[in-house]
Amino acid sequence: MPFGRKPRTKLNSAALALVGAVLLPSAAPAGPNVVVILTDDQRWDCVGSADRPYLGIRTPNLDRLAAEGARFRNAFVTTSLCSPSRASMLSGLYAHTHQVINNFTDFPADLPSYPRQLQAAGYETAYIGKFHMGEQSDEKRPGFDYWISHTGQGRYDENTFNIDGTRKVVKGYYTKVVTDMAVEWLRGRGDRPFLLVLGHKAPHGPFVPEEKYRHAFDAAKIEYPASAFDLAGKPRWIAERLDTWHGIYGPLYGFRNEFPDRSGAGVKVFGDFVRSYLGTILSVDDSVGAICHALKETGRLEDTVIIFTSDNGFLLGEHGMIDKRTMHEESIRVPLLVRYPKRIRPGSVIDEMVLNIDLAPSIVELCGAAPLPKVHGRSWAVLLERTSRAGDHRPDPEREQAGRAGAPGTLAGASGSVGPVAGAPGSVGPVAGAPGSVGWRTSWYYEYDYEKQFPYTPNVRGVRTADWKYVHYPHGDGKPDRHKAELYNLRADPQERKNLIDDPACADRLADLRAELARLMNECDALPDKMPLDEGVKMELPEKAIR
Ligand SMILES: [Ca+2]
């Protein structure tokens, strides 16, 4: 079933029929506005609405998106690295197809993307903030009518932006600056529907929280996670990574001056590292509140699909690792919140496994634009439709009233007034129906290619199902692997503590997963599988310019 093409076509047709004429393309586009808010390196549990929010982090504006929309509790990236994942989001394709396989490659100028499809359908389109592909250029990219971005990683303070052709140093904290720019653009919109992508730098390292949040997590007690000391039975490269740029005893992106530091006292600097990461996310939450407030003030909140997600997750010490790239849960899981009351029952929680390659086909379908000519992902609009069929999904009038009286910087009502999704008004809890009940995927393929510039992670190839994960590390020469593989029963062992790869009782399961991996790779055009040679984990630090 290459690409699952037939079922997808059927599902798209069914979904289109269900939502009616509003999704049909026309000369004057009638589709909803779309605002995509994209963070950089934000792990899935660093939003207050997560099942177990990290260190109890509170993000009232993001939580409001979840309470008034849908929270995907199983959202993943197919490559946990900034540029490859961003290119997958734009195109709906795996990295091996779009070929942005590292952080130094630009999005191919001729590759179809969802912004281009929306632009062709008559949308006004804008990109504001961190683009993070082809970093040597800050020039406007295809698909966007309006453009504000910059070269490189950008700076948290006094960043130089290319503001639609004019380069300028802008004082102020990055997250606030790009939010103000986005609000200004939103306020200037006319009758045409629009797409805005707001790309945050936060919480990408080196983490510098906004001054007001510098001490927000001072009281939090932070230790190395237990899994950092639990490496028996794991591949040796994981232990080799401990002292490197991507290990918990290494420099921690410059937070630690003396390294490697395996002393017990070294955990204090690790704690500062984690606190700073979290602090930057609080400013992102303010940004979400400001964007929603601007949409409400301009009368567009209910006609706008708001999507919040991140380009990859982030390891905060799990398995002795920081950073991303690996296929461990903290690396591949991202937040995904979608608010659009016309299609989503408030407080919906969606369990199906969705991927970064699903974003483009989903947005294109929701907007009624022409489908992308080729995608590996699938539109999750069908999952949203199911939430609305569960009952009345109109906005709650009382909450609308609260919104009109709400303070600036909040979506509707006072900041922090919304509790966890489960307790929110209108919450329906998990959507009824087992995974697969709408023909949804029950497994997916993960890939990452070894980087010479960051020699801390091997080539990675893996398959994840709802309950199992198999991941192996090819050398890149077509010969048998030289690293031990990993096999986890995620239902029994969600923290991936016990590697079952050598357990004879799991031999049949392992064979099934290997067969499934081969099937998935064939289905998404990943064969023949090309990758660089694994040159091993190295102690050397990355060049300063690319840290
Ligand atoms: Ca990233």
**Distance of CA 366 from the midpoint of ligand 1 (Å):** 26
Q: Which of 407, 430, 453 is the last residue of a domain?
A: 430
Q: Which amino acid is at 300?
A: R
Q: What is the mean pLDDT of residues 373-401?
A: 72
Please name the residues in contact with 544: beta carbons below 8 A apart, sequence gap of 6 or more: none
> Tokens in use for 211?
């001054």
Is residue 132 in a domain? yes
* Tokens encoding 324: 């991303």
Counts of helices then strands in the chain (DSSP H, E)? 13, 19
The percentage of residues in the chain with a pLDDT greater than 70, rounded to a whole number, is 86
Q: pLDDT digit string (tens) for 319-344?
A: 999 999 999 999 999 999 999 999 99
Based on the fold, state whether residues 498 and 410 are members of the same structural domain.
no
Closest CA to 301 of 54, 9, 34: 34
Helix axes 82-91, 359-367, angle to 10 degrees: 30
How far does the centroid of ligand 1 lie from the alpha carbon of residue 404, in Å?
35
pLDDT band at 387 (very low <50, low <70, confident <90, very high): confident
414 and 463 both lie in a single domain: no
User: Quick one: 205 and 331 in the same domain?
Assistant: yes
Contact 396, 345 (CB under 8 A): no
Cis? peptide before 203, omega within 30° of 0: yes
Is the domain of 303 the same as that of 349?
Answer: yes
Q: How far is the CA of 135 from the centre of ligand 1 (A)?
A: 13
Whether 248 maps to a domain, the answer reads no
Same domain, 458 and 361: no
Q: How far is the CA of 205 from the centre of ligand 1 (A)?
A: 9
- Picking from 364, 397, 430, the residue at the C-terminal end of a domain is 430
Centre of ligand 1 from the C-alpha of residue 34, in Å: 22
Same structural domain for residues 409 and 452?
no
**Span 468-489, average pLDDT:** 98
* Ligand 1 geometric centre to CA of 334 (Å): 10
Alpha carbon 432 to chain centroid distance? 25
Q: Helix 267-297 crosses helix 60-68 at what angle (to 10 degrees)?
A: 50
Confidence at 433, pLDDT banded by 50, 70, 90 = very low
* Cα 26 to averaged position of ligand 1 atoms, centre (Å): 36
The dihedral through the CA atoms of 334, 338, 343, 346 has a sign that is positive
For residue 532, the domain's CATH number is 3.30.1120.10
* CA distance readout (Å), 29 to 22, 193, 197, 361: 9, 7, 19, 17
Given a cut of 90, whether residue 393 has pLDDT beyond it is: no
Model confidence band, residue 547 (pLDDT cutoffs 50, 70, 90): confident
**Do residues 19 and 385 touch, judged by C-beta distance below 8 A?**
yes
Regarding whether 367 and 503 lie in a shared domain, the answer is: no
In a domain, 218, yes or no: no
Range of the domain at 279: 2-23+38-209+272-430
Phi, psi angle pair for 16, to nearest 5°: -65, -40
Model-level pTM?
0.88
pLDDT higher than 60, residue 424: no
Query: Measured in angstroms, how far is the CA atom of residue 440 from the centroid of ligand 1?
Result: 27
Task: Look at the alpha carbons of 425, 430, 433, 435 in this order and tell me if their dihedral is positive or negative.
Answer: positive
Is position 329 within any domain? yes
CA distances from 438 to 7, 15, 304, 321, 326 (A): 10, 11, 26, 37, 30
Both structure tokens of 340: 């659009």
Query: Could you tell me if 411 and 484 lie in one domain?
Result: no
Q: What is the pLDDT of residue 437?
A: 58
State the distance from the centre of ligand 1 to the C-alpha of 314, rounded, in angstroms: 8
How far does the centroid of ligand 1 lie from the alpha carbon of residue 464, in Å? 21
Do 326 and 181 share a structural domain? yes
Distance (angstroms) between ligand 1 centre and the Cα of 75 equals 15
Greater pLDDT, 402 or 547 = 547
Residues 290 and 164 in one domain: yes
- Residues for the chain: how many in total? 547
Contact 320, 244 (CB under 8 A): no
101 Cα: distance to centroid of ligand 1 (angstroms): 13
Q: What is the CATH number of the domain that holds 299?
A: 3.40.720.10
Distance 25 CA to ligand 1 centre (A): 34
Which tokens go with 385? 């439709």
Q: How many angstroms separate the alpha carbon of residue 435 from the centre of ligand 1?
A: 28
Domain end, chosen from 395, 430, 465, is at 430
Q: Judge whether 126 and 107 are in contact, CB under 8 Å.
A: no
CB pairs under 8 A, 24+ apart, for 483-491?
Answer: 483/235, 483/236, 483/237, 483/458, 483/534, 484/234, 484/235, 484/236, 485/235, 486/234, 486/235, 487/513, 490/329, 490/464, 490/466, 491/466, 491/467
What local confidence, expressed as pLDDT, does residue 27 receive?
A: 55
| In a domain? residue 284 | yes
Q: What are 229's strand-pairing partners?
A: none
- Residue 409, pLDDT above cutoff 60: no
Count of structural domains, the chain: 2
Cα(463) to ligand 1 centroid in Å equals 21
Distance 193 CA to ligand 1 centre (A): 29
Spatial separation of the C-alpha atoms in residues 43 and 439, rounded to whole Å = 28
β-strand 429-430 against 460-465: which pairing, if any? unpaired
The pLDDT value recorded for residue 1 is 32
| 92 shares its domain with 7 | yes
Distance 27 CA to ligand 1 centre (A): 37
Q: What is the pLDDT of residues 74-96, one digit of tens each?
A: 999 999 999 999 999 999 999 99
Q: Half-sphere exposure of 433 toward its Cβ, with a 13 Å CA cutoff?
A: 18
Question: What separation in Å is there between the alpha carbon of 132 and the centre of ligand 1?
Answer: 8
Q: Is 50 within the bounds of a domain? A: yes
Using one digit for the tens of pLDDT, what is the confidence trace for 281-323? Answer: 999 999 999 999 999 999 999 999 999 999 999 999 999 999 9
Q: Is residue 48 part of a domain?
A: yes
**Does 150 fall in a domain?**
yes
Q: What are residue 291's phi and psi, to 5 degrees? A: -65, -45
Ligand 1 center to residue 39 CA distance, Å? 8
Distance 167 CA to ligand 1 centre (A): 24
Q: Are residues 13 and 59 in the same domain?
A: yes
Q: In 314-413, where do the E strands start and end?
A: 315-316, 322-323, 336-339, 348-350, 354-355
Rounded CA-CA distance 290/183 in Å is 8
Of 434, 56, 97, nearest to 221 by C-alpha is: 56
